[in-house]
Amino acid sequence: MDRDRTAVPPPAALSTTTAVRRPGAELRESAGKGAGVFAVRSFRTGETVLTGVIEAELGRNDSHASQVGWDRFVRHGGLVPKVNHSCDPACGIGLNPAGAHDLVARRPIRSGQEITFDYAMRNFSIEHFPARCQCGTVLCRGRITGWKDLPADRRAAYRGSIAPYLLDTPAVPDAPALPNTPALPDAPTDR
């Protein structure tokens, strides 16, 4: 009987990464972007694709930080940090009861499709990514930006799909173009 009790580790001993993996997603090579997360089954609009689990509290913003409040940055465990940015994302952000960011389908996602979200959906400011966006979508802004630099039409389109604290931000100016940003030679200009 004692053997049976010790066969299963207590919850605290379980890896946080196992809690965030869902059978519907896997890490694979993403053309021109390194690794990416891909659906291995279909998801309906509004369905949780990845469940976020906070792995660590961070003292500041960095390239894989998720902003969960004005001065609070966290790192998620599992596949969430491996999800690539897109200016026309398949997923949005949903806050779960633990305060972590779930990735929720904004539209139907087919098996084999890359799971993406716009990093502006979680961070007010982004200064730690390469200058050029590589998403290649029709809506590509040419640059990965935070919420503060997101054009008004994209902010409106993302309502209901962003980290809730962004709705409480002070008024941000309309950002039809990226302020003080020189033209990017490799950025798409016809979009």
Residue 1 falls within a domain, yes or no?
Answer: no
Q: Decide: residue 140, CB within 10 A, 0-12 exposed, 13-18 middle, 19+ buried.
A: middle
72/60 Cα distance (integer angstroms) = 8
Report how many domains make up the chain.
1
What are 19-29's pLDDT values in tens digits? 344 469 999 99
Residue 2 falls within a domain, yes or no?
Answer: no
What are 126-176's pLDDT values in tens digits? 877 766 888 999 999 999 989 988 988 999 999 889 988 887 765 555 544
The residues pairing with 94 across neighbouring beta strands, listed in sequence order, are: 102
Residue 189 falls within a domain, yes or no?
Answer: no
The residues pairing with 54 across neighbouring beta strands, listed in sequence order, are: 76
**Both structure tokens of 176:** 């039809």
190/175 Cα distance (integer angstroms) = 18
Contacts 24+ apart (CB under 8 A), 164-168: 164/95, 165/67, 165/68, 165/69, 165/70, 166/121, 166/124
Rg (CA), the chain: 18
What is the mean predicted confidence (pLDDT) over 33-58? 93
Residue 76 falls within a domain, yes or no?
Answer: yes
3-state SS, one letter per residue, for 110-179 = CCCCEEEECHHHCCCCCCCCCCCCCCCCCCCCCCCCCHHHCCHHHHHHHCCCCCHHHHHCCCCCCCCCCC
The pLDDT score that the predictor gives to residue 72 is 86
8/48 Cα distance (integer angstroms) = 27
Residue 15 falls within a domain, yes or no?
Answer: yes
What are 2-40's pLDDT values in tens digits? 333 333 233 333 333 433 444 699 999 988 888 999 999
Residue 180 falls within a domain, yes or no?
Answer: no
The pLDDT score that the predictor gives to residue 18 is 38
The pLDDT score that the predictor gives to residue 181 is 35
Residue 183 falls within a domain, yes or no?
Answer: no
CATH code at position 157: 2.170.270.10
Report which listed range, 49-63, 76-90, 103-117, is most confident.
Answer: 103-117
Domain that holds residue 125: 8-168
What is the mean predicted confidence (pLDDT) over 66-73? 84
pLDDT bucket at 46, cuts 50 / 70 / 90: very high
Residue 177, pLDDT > 50, answer no
Residue 84 falls within a domain, yes or no?
Answer: yes
The pLDDT score that the predictor gives to residue 5 is 33
